[in-house]
A and B are shown apart, each in its own frame.
Chain A
Amino acid sequence: MKRTLGIVLLIALFVTVFALSGTAQTINLRVAWWGNQTRHDMTIQVMEMFEKKNPGIKLSPEYTSFAGYWDRMAAQAAGSNLADIMQQDYKYITQYVDSGLLIALDRYIGKGLDFSDVADSFLAPGRVYGQLYGINLGANTYAFAFDADLFERTGVKAPTPDWTWEDYIATLRELKKKTGLYGDHEFTLCTNNVSGLEHYVRQHGQAFYNAAGTALGFDEKLFAEFYKMDLQMTNEGVCAPPEVRLEVTSIENNPMVMKKANMASLWSNQIVAYEKAAGRPLKMALWPKMKGQKKEGTYLKPSMFFSITRDCRNIDASLKFLNYFINDIEANKVLNAERGVPISAKVRNAMASELTGAAKEMFAIVDLASKHASPIDPPPPAAFQQVIDTLNDVHFKILYKVLTPEQGAKEFFQRANKILADAAK
């Protein structure tokens, strides 16, 4: 560690000397992220803009798709060969911190990192054990998406921010009756995803995992209640049967996009992609509240982070880039909030006037959600993916009527608690 620091300092010294003497030695930084063609193009463009402004720094992009990203990063970690800056995810960041792979950034705030326009609530989710390891690249919330004219057309009462589960169910039924299409193909995000259940759990003032991450943190009966509602809707044909749900693998074949359902649940930054895939204007609404809820179920989640890794060869230059990425207005205009609503108020204000369509809707829903949200729960324990797979397994057993919701709850709790306990050993 000391030696690396020494080397870094030495290099920094050389850089300054060379810079002063006019023959700048270039610093090379590797930046890794996942995404699609749009994100790759936009990010690379911003990197080039940055290089133009900072002639001494050369950035090499390393991009992949999401599926391969974590496999590659794991290999790089094993070889002590991590990219200097890596995109991180809320679900993975704790594991990386626990393994000592990321660098705490607190001491650079104000010295390299300018967060004067960033509200602390945006930074909070990037803190692990009280230290800042991830810089939030965009705020997100889950929501419903639907055709902009759906409620005028059908005459069904449009959702308000204060609507309840009862209202939601009534709306789905009415939509099904009026249009013949599924109200929603699933009951909030409940297929292959814990978010729907988590939302319900949070409304009861409980958390999905216990504080230590060694067991589930909520009552078994909440599981049964929630998936009973889902099953009821499925039996009525208001939500889609399991085989239809299993076939949904991308935004392009989402039933709402394909006009087989009226609504879809999504993360707010996905609205741009949904609207593009659907080819028609969409609007968003918040998820329902619970009558007599203990706290708000909704929360703001960082869509993703940038983190500086242990193997970083030049922290100062990395900070410079991150600072640019967060605070520069021109850069963010290029990035177009594709990673979610920018965290800098200055950037948001500058972009607000130019927003149209889906992007405008995204800014609006995040703003609305911030008024109806409670703070996000801590990142899940490392075994989260195994828990999600178990949930999924049990969920389909319920939908295919192999198990009742109560039996499902029992099986899920047994298996998930065992997984979490084993992982903590």
Chain B
Amino acid sequence: MKLTKKRIRQGIGSLTYHGFILLFGFFMFYPVLWLISSSFKEHAEIFQNAHVLIPKTFRWENYVQGWRGFGGITFGTFFKNSMIISGVSTLGQILTSSMVAFGFARVKFTGRKFWFRMMILTLLLPGQVLLIPQYVVFNYMGWIDTFKPLIIPHFFAGPFHVFLMVQFISGIPMELDEAARIDGCGPFATYYRIILPNIKPALITSGIFSFYWSWNNFMQALMYIQTPRKYPASLALQLFADPQSVTHWGAMFAMATLSLVPIFIIFITFQRYLVEGISTTGLKG
């Protein structure tokens, strides 16, 4: 008897849960559906039947026209460029940021607080005013019109990622480090064997953000890349829009939808590493 009552209560709870999540989820997800649906609509329909989610006819031509790109350079090239830039910079970002985070969180050294604050400080300056000075510096180094300015800086740890990982590392008990020390681990082994495996959720989160930011980075690509063959997708997407003339909305939305796919896949693949923990607790409501 008791058991069934509990079951019923659980059933109601779970129904409320799913109902609530789905209802709000629809509002949350509506824009994405809107984007996808618009990518199949005709020019005029995008604006005139704006909140009708199902297009009158599915125009795959939008995808064909969009993919065609500009002057013989297809979106295949742009996506490939984006993949290289985002993939490589994300790897560099995770690797170096976790090292730096370990240094700040677990090693005491002279000037530690000072450098940490300096690092946070660099986050506070609007990047827009650095664009021109950085252009001058990169130009001096001969990096303009290459992927270098978009990739190499990511191999020198990003403040956001370092700060994030520092916070996660500080959630790990110090006893673990000490045990490792007793086993004869130096700082590097402690970092590699103890800390890294324990902050996997942070590494994954960091990786998802890093990839996404790099994927969407428009302003720096605009500044530093000149040759269309080297444009990443984020920059190429803007080339459809011209408020003074025809904007190929259908083609633009089609490519915007496609450009969501890789970040979507990355998220789906890695998000499941962010849940299990609690599931093993056996905590029942």
Nearest residue, chain A, Cβ from B227: A60
Binds A, one of B8-16, B77-85, B205-213, B237-245: B237-245
Nearest residue, chain A, Cβ from B72: A44
Which residues of chain B in 117-147 are interfacial with respect to chain A, using CB atoms and an 8 Å cutoff?
131-132, 135-136, 139, 144
User: Is A71 in the interface zone, CB < 8 Å from B?
Assistant: yes
* Complex interface: chain B residues within 8 A of A41 (CB): 70-71
Q: Which of B48, B131, B238, B239 has the most CB of A within 10 A?
A: B239
Q: Is the CB of B71 within 8 A of A36?
A: no
User: Is A99 in the interface zone, CB < 8 Å from B?
Assistant: no
Q: Is the CB of A78 within 8 A of B136?
A: yes
Q: Given A35-B245, A38-B246, A251-B247, are A64 and B47 also a contact pair (CB < 8 Å)? A: no
Nearest residue, chain B, Cβ from A338: B245
User: Is B52 in the interface zone, CB < 8 Å from A?
Assistant: no
Interface size on A, residues (CB 8 A): 46
Binary interface encoding of chain A residues 298-323 relative to chain B, with 1 for a CB under 8 A from any of its CBs, else 0: 00000000000000000000000000
Q: Given A36-B247, A64-B222, are A277 and B44 also a contact pair (CB < 8 Å)? A: yes
Q: Is the CB of B132 within 8 A of A252?
A: no
* Complex interface: chain A residues within 8 A of B235 (CB): 64
Q: Smallest CB–CB gap between B59 and chain A, Å?
A: 14
* Complex interface: chain B residues within 8 A of A66 (CB): 242-244
Q: Is the CB of B44 within 8 A of A72?
A: no
Q: Given A251-B246, A252-B47, are A75 and B223 also a contact pair (CB < 8 Å)? A: yes
B251 touches which one: A37, A45, A61, A338 (CB < 8 A)? A37
User: Is A258 in the interface zone, CB < 8 Å from B?
Assistant: yes
Q: Is the CB of B228 within 8 A of A63?
A: yes
Q: Smallest CB–CB gap between B77 and chain A, Å?
A: 14
Q: Given A36-B246, A39-B245, A258-B47, are A79 and B239 also a contact pair (CB < 8 Å)? A: no
Q: Is the CB of A67 within 8 A of B238?
A: yes
| Docked complex Cα distance between A30 and B235 (Å) | 19
Q: Is the CB of B246 within 8 A of A62?
A: no
User: Is B226 in the interface zone, CB < 8 Å from A?
Assistant: yes
Q: Smallest CB–CB gap between A121 and chain B, Å?
A: 24
| Docked complex Cα distance between A130 and B94 (Å) | 58
User: Is A250 in the interface zone, CB < 8 Å from B?
Assistant: yes
Q: Is the CB of B245 within 8 A of A38?
A: yes
* Complex interface: chain A residues within 8 A of B100 (CB): none
| Docked complex Cα distance between A217 and B135 (Å) | 38
User: Is A210 in the interface zone, CB < 8 Å from B?
Assistant: no
Q: Is the CB of B136 within 8 A of A249?
A: no
| Docked complex Cα distance between A316 and B23 (Å) | 66
A61 touches which one: B139, B219, B228 (CB < 8 A)? B228
Q: Is the CB of A44 within 8 A of B71?
A: yes
Q: Is the CB of A79 within 8 A of B246?
A: no
* Complex interface: chain B residues within 8 A of A76 (CB): 135
Nearest residue, chain A, Cβ from B238: A65
User: Is B46 in the interface zone, CB < 8 Å from A?
Assistant: yes
Give chain A's interface secondary structure class: helix
User: Is B248 in the interface zone, CB < 8 Å from A?
Assistant: yes
User: Is A279 in the interface zone, CB < 8 Å from B?
Assistant: yes
B144 touches which one: A43, A79, A270, A276 (CB < 8 A)? A79
* Complex interface: chain B residues within 8 A of A72 (CB): 222-223
* Complex interface: chain B residues within 8 A of A37 (CB): 70, 239-240, 246, 248, 251
Q: Is the CB of B71 within 8 A of A250?
A: no
User: Is A40 in the interface zone, CB < 8 Å from B?
Assistant: yes
Q: Is the CB of B246 within 8 A of A277?
A: yes
User: Is A253 in the interface zone, CB < 8 Å from B?
Assistant: yes
User: Is B43 in the interface zone, CB < 8 Å from A?
Assistant: yes
A252 touches which one: B226, B238, B249 (CB < 8 A)? B249
Q: Given A63-B228, A74-B132, A79-B136, are A270 and B239 also a contact pair (CB < 8 Å)? A: no
Which residues of chain B in 5-28 are interfacial with respect to chain A, using CB atoms and an 8 Å cutoff?
none
Q: Smallest CB–CB gap between A192 and chain B, Å?
A: 11
Q: Smallest CB–CB gap between B50 and chain A, Å?
A: 9
Q: Smallest CB–CB gap between A340 and chain B, Å?
A: 11
* Complex interface: chain B residues within 8 A of A67 (CB): 238, 241
| Docked complex Cα distance between A45 and B48 (Å) | 34
* Complex interface: chain B residues within 8 A of A30 (CB): 226
Q: Is the CB of B132 within 8 A of A36?
A: no
User: Is A81 in the interface zone, CB < 8 Å from B?
Assistant: yes
A276 touches which one: B136, B218, B243, B246 (CB < 8 A)? B246
Q: Beyond the given A67-B241, A277-B44, could you list 20 further A-B residue pairs with CB under 8 A, ordered by the A residue number?
A: A36-B247, A37-B251, A39-B242, A60-B226, A61-B71, A65-B241, A65-B242, A66-B243, A66-B244, A68-B218, A71-B219, A71-B222, A75-B132, A75-B135, A252-B46, A267-B244, A270-B244, A276-B43, A276-B246, A279-B44
28 CB-based A-B contacts, threshold 8 Å: A35-B242, A37-B239, A37-B246, A38-B245, A39-B242, A39-B245, A40-B70, A61-B228, A62-B227, A63-B70, A63-B239, A64-B222, A64-B238, A65-B238, A65-B242, A67-B241, A68-B238, A71-B222, A75-B132, A75-B223, A79-B135, A252-B46, A252-B47, A253-B47, A257-B44, A258-B47, A267-B244, A276-B43
By a beta-carbon cutoff of 8 Å, the part of chain B in contact with chain A is: 43-44, 46-48, 70-72, 131-132, 135-136, 139, 144, 218-219, 222-223, 226-228, 235, 238-249, 251
The 8 closest A-B pairs by CB, nearest first: A44-B71, A36-B242, A79-B139, A75-B135, A40-B70, A273-B246, A273-B245, A68-B222
